[in-house]
Every structure is written in structure tokens, then in C-alpha cells.
Amino acid sequence: MENIPAMPVDRRLPDRTELRSLLRSPMPDNRPAIEVKSLDKYFGPIHAVRKISFSVDHGEVLGFLGPNGAGKSTTMKMIAGFLRPDGGTVLVNNLNVIDDPVGVKARIGYLPEGAPSYGEMTVEKFLRFIAEIRGFDSTERDKCIADIIRIINLGSVRKQTIETLSKGYRRRVGLAQAFLHDPDVLIMDEPTDGLDPNQKHEVRSLIKNMSSNKAIIISTHILEEVDAVCTRAIIISAGEILFDGSPGELRAKSDRNDIDDAFRSITTAQATGLAG
């Protein structure tokens, strides 16, 4: 709780920075940071997400695994408030995403799939726009942009327009955008997709360093990533949760103690089950 500044005596209301740290501090009753209850989503006739329930605590890094089209991105989009669920609830720090979408979005850092950003802007101008929307005033803004540029290592390209950057740098700009306001809930859709091995390693250590007091969800196709950064893994296939447990438990599902093997046997068992 040391990050909560003392209430100033000369004013009655805390200013924005203080308010943010207050918002960031964990709930006193120790409710999970993210609670998903029987979440449902249809796209026309397709039942994309089928009554999914899980929760994520502060300090947890949840890896979302599953074949393409399993419903990973759809679930993340619903938690981030982009898609409206057809049923069920999402609570982020006890706020309901349907009742208070802006409140939830203010507390979440979200990296959409493919890390979209405004290509015609320079890195600095883009981050400035995000900071303005996130409610930083002009002095705070400069500081938080300078901080994030240092942390994500974007100093060499800060004046470059985003469309001229390599894929790795664009992904980093996306991460910078998600981390900018130091949210305590982070949702990242394939944060390491398309990066070279060194960049993957960097992003993973970045996530790991931040994970101590945040609730983080990442989706990935790379199973080694689960071992490298996640404290928990959920496997989704055809809109349903097939596995929810630690990476160790996942590995134990395989005779050879191999995570790829375990993933394959869990997801194909369902496929043959469906076929039969």
C-alpha cells in the first residue's frame, strides 16, 4: 500500500495522480481483478464463446491458449469492452464492463491483435494522444511519455512516423500504448506474434517484470511462452474452456511431460469427441 500518497492537508480532493494510485490499489476485500462469469457470444449462427467463467487475481499472468478461431480474441475483446457479450458478466476491479464501460476501460491496458495504431503519427505524438485521452495533464504527460519510451526502448524512433517502423517496433508502440497509464489490469492479444526471437524474449521479460502487482491476460500460439511468463494457463477450443491450471499441471497431462503434447491431446480429444 506504499504507493498511496498521503492525503494533502490543504486540499479536500485528491488530484489526478493520487486518484489514479488509489484506483490502482487492490480492492480491500481481495476480490479478483478480473471476474468472468458465464460469458456468451454469438456471431450470427456461430456460437463463438460458450458460457466461459474464470477469474484472474493480481499478480497472476494468465496464458490464453487455443487453436485459431477458438474464441480467445473474442473473449478478450469482451473483457476490454469492445464487443458486447450476449450473456454473462465481466467485472474488472468490481466494475461491470456493461454498466460502466468507460470506468473499466480507464483501468485496463489493452493491446488489440496486430497492435493497430495511427500510422501517420510519430511515436511521440501517438503516445501523447493516448496520454491525453487517459487524462494526464500536460506536465504529467511529458513525464509518463518519457518513462514509457525509456522502459519500452523507443528512444531511437520517437520522432519517426509509425508507418515507417518495422513490425517489431510497431508492436512495441502498441505495448507502450497499453502500459502508458500503468494499469493494474493488462490484456494483450498475441503480444509477441511476428517478432524475432530476441524481440520475443524482450517482450516476455517486460511482461514478467511488470507482473508482480498486476493481473495480466495474454493470448498466444507459442506454448513455450506459457512456461516462460505465465503462472496459469487456460485452453479454449470451440468457445469452451478445456483446461484451467498451472503450466506444471498442463505438462503433467502428457505422458512425456511435454507441454505441446498436452495441448495437442486436450484439443484433439475434443475434436474427436465432437466428431463422434
Residues that bind another protein (CB under 8 A): 43-44, 77, 80-84, 101-103, 105-106, 108, 110, 112-114, 116-121, 125, 129-130, 132-135, 161, 177
Q: Smaller CB distance to another protein: residue 131 or 226?
A: 131
How far, in Å, CA of 76 to CA of 81, rounded? 9
When the beta carbons of 117 and 237 are compared against another protein, the nearer one is 117
Shortest Å, Cβ 42 to another protein? 9
**In the structure grid, which three cell numbers stand for residue 5, read together?**
500518497
Angle at 133 between CA 157 and CA 136, to 5 degrees: 85
CB of 119 or CB of 155, closer to another protein: 119
* CB 43 to another protein: min, Å: 7
Q: Shortest Cβ distance from residue 145 to another protein (Å)?
A: 14
Please report how close the Cβ of residue 176 comes to another protein at its closest, in angstroms: 12
Residue type, 159: K
Bridging pattern class, strands 34-43 and 185-189: unpaired
Q: How far is the CB of 29 from another protein (least distance, A)?
A: 24
The grid cell for 145 is: 511519455
Least distance in Å: CB of 223 to another protein?
26
Residue with smaller CB distance to another protein, 99 or 260: 99
| C-beta of 106 vs 222, nearer to another protein | 106
- Quote the CA–CA distance of 257 and 267 in Å, as a whole number: 16
What is the amino acid identity at position 210? M
Strand partners, 219: 64, 189
- Residue 42's DSSP bridge partners are 47
Please, what is the minimum distance in Å from the beta carbon of residue 11 to another protein? Answer: 21
Rounded least distance, CB 235 to another protein, Å? 24
Nearest CA to 51 out of 68, 32, 64, 36 is that of: 36
Please check whether residue 233 is in contact with residue 65, taking contact to mean a CB–CB distance below 8 angstroms: yes
State the Cα–Cα distance between residues 63 and 200, nearest whole angstrom.
15
Query: Which of 254, 97, 121 minimizes the C-alpha distance to 176?
Result: 121
Q: What angle do CA 211, 214, 215 make, to 5 degrees?
A: 100
Nearest residue (CB) to another protein, 137 versus 260: 137
Q: Is there a contact between 104 and 81 (Cβ–Cβ < 8 Å)?
A: yes
51 versus 125: smaller Cβ distance to another protein: 125
Quick one: 127 or 250, whose CB is closer to another protein? 127
